[in-house]
Amino acid sequence: MKTQYKFYLVKWLSSSLSTLLILSVLILYSCQKEFLEKKPDLSRLVPKTVSDFQAICDNEMWYSAPGVQEVSTDDFNISDAGLFASSAIVQNAYRWLPNTFAGQPFVLDWYETHMQIFYANIILEGLADITDGERDSPVYSSVKGTAFFQRAFAFYNLAQVFAAPYNPANANSKPGIPLRLLSDVNARYPRGTVQQTYDQVIIDLRTALPLLPDEVSYTSRPSKVAVYAMLARVYLAMGDYVNAELNANTALTIKHELIDYNTIKGNASDRLIPPALRNTNVEVIFYKGAIAYTFPGASALASVVPSVYNSYAADDLRKLLFFRNRGNGIFTFRGTYGGVSSAGLFTGLATDELYLIRAECAARRGNLNGALSDLNTLLVKRYTIGKFIPVVETNQEIVLRTILAERRKELICRALRWTDLRRLNIDPKFAVEFNRTVAGVEYKLPPNSNRYTFPLPDDEILIGGMEQNP
């Protein structure tokens, strides 16, 4: 009995031992290299393929655009209580105080936009390493075009807030935006000039143009028409009305749909602009959303300036769709063109803006018929059916002023007003000065004031050693 017991035991031992030994020998000599090549986290990867870079292009971080300048425009007011309940940045920007960011680190308007530049450079460098057949695929070129387009958009957006307004007279001397064209985070770039910034924006856009497709599945991805639309916006900001009109025209040749606001149905509160990102807003060409501050969207106390509200005619559907009556004569903004307020105020590209650019440029060169035709094409879609009376006018300045007034009304809360104020101030005829009173103290923003250029965030000056704006 005992021997038998031992026999089974030894049998068991030897079998388990040999299994153990074989297992360890197997693991020992099974290719070590392969063993260590397993990814530590399966969802983490080294972006190498075109689809990896496409996935990076579909990140929501690209939606972001500066929004602080919207606080400083003349479109909205806020009560003292509302202002003091807001963040320090809002309090400072609203009063045009020089130290807007008050030592606060990580100013999103600056940081998130630069992150887009960093991402764009990572993509461009990663794509350059692709050597196989993928290089010839249409996705490869559209991803590459996207990176150039997004980088241009980011440079342009930063220039509207942190660099002086484009003025041919001093564009070669005013500091611009550091032009980071490589992903190396340790490299330091000087600010260069305003001229260099705008040159780079145009170079990047022109590089993107042949690479991008005609059609895209989502408005968060740029297409050729987005490049033309962007070029129109950039040239307009530069006061280059010839090129602005040219590009607006090309863009409108490709895409010219307008929403008839009469087709937006529902109760007062849910008559909403159709969402942009899901391509249901036919006017939207390319999507961006501004970083949210207390207003104009988020506070019940940030109300549209009464004169602006009253400038919309009674039959103008925008008066209903864009604003919400809070009682006591207070109207707040609700009609973001992105349709989804949670994603931030829409600051992307749309056909309505293009009609207005083309109209303005045409008016400026004296083509009043062309200008009014564009204006009327747009406005008829904004009024209750049958109530719109087309604008007829022969005085160039009146036509121009009408278009500019309509531009302000149509493009309210798209972070365009600030750029327009900066541009228009250069011409004394259109320069405006405005002021506001907070807690009994009056604040003024004279035309061409240094306050039209925001200071760089304080951490950038302290760590990056960059030149501060005056």
- Neighbouring C-beta atoms of residue 376, cutoff 10 Å: 17
**Residue 269 vs 394, nearer CB to another protein:** 269
Residues 263-282 that bind another protein (CB under 8 A): 267, 269-270, 272, 275, 277-278
How far, in Å, CA of 310 to CA of 331, rounded? 11
In the block, which residue shows the tokens 């035309």?
A: 447
| Binding flag, residue 340, another protein (CB under 8 A) | yes
Is the separation of the CB atoms in 48 and 56 below 8 Å? no
Q: Considering CB under 8 A, how many residues would be counted as binding another protein?
A: 99
**Residue 138 vs 464, nearer CB to another protein:** 464
Residues 76-95 that bind another protein (CB under 8 A): 79-82, 84-85, 88
Render 354-375 in DSSP notation, one character per residue.
Answer: HHHHHHHHHHHTT-HHHHHHHH
How far, in Å, CA of 122 to CA of 58, rounded? 14
Site string for another protein, 121-140 (x = CB under 8 A): xx---x--------------
Cα torsion for 420, 178, 126, 130, to the nearest 10°? 80
**Residue 464 vs 470, nearer CB to another protein:** 464
Q: From the list 99, 325, 449, 450, which residue makes contact with another protein (rule: CB under 8 A)?
A: 99
Q: Which stretch binds another protein (CB under 8 A): 208-216, 242-250, 415-423, 461-469?
A: 461-469
Q: Which stretch binds another protein (CB under 8 A): 51-59, 167-175, 313-321, 370-378?
A: 51-59
What tokens does 320 get? 């209903």
Q: Which stretch binds another protein (CB under 8 A): 10-18, 234-242, 243-251, 414-422?
A: 10-18
How far, in Å, CA of 463 to CA of 466, rounded? 8
Residues 150-179 that bind another protein (CB under 8 A): 178
Q: Which residues pair with 434 in a beta bridge?
A: 445
Residues 13-42 that bind another protein (CB under 8 A): 13-14, 16-17, 20-21, 23-24, 27-28, 32-33, 35-42
Is the separation of the CB atoms in 413 and 297 below 8 Å? yes
Task: Report strand pairing: 64-65 vs 289-290.
Answer: parallel
Q: How far is the CB of 232 from another protein (least distance, A)?
A: 26
- Neighbouring C-beta atoms of residue 183, cutoff 10 Å: 16
| Binding flag, residue 103, another protein (CB under 8 A) | yes
**Residue 319 vs 334, nearer CB to another protein:** 334
Our measurement of the distance from residue 330's CA atom to the centroid of its chain's CA atoms, rounded to an integer in Å, reads 28
Site string for another protein, 345-364 (x = CB under 8 A): --------------------
Residue of 226, 61, 204, 230 lying closest to 144 (CA atoms): 204
| Binding flag, residue 8, another protein (CB under 8 A) | no
390-411 residues labelled b (16+ CB within 10 A) or e (exposed): ebebeeeeebbebbbebbbbbb
| Binding flag, residue 61, another protein (CB under 8 A) | yes
**Residue 268 vs 392, nearer CB to another protein:** 268
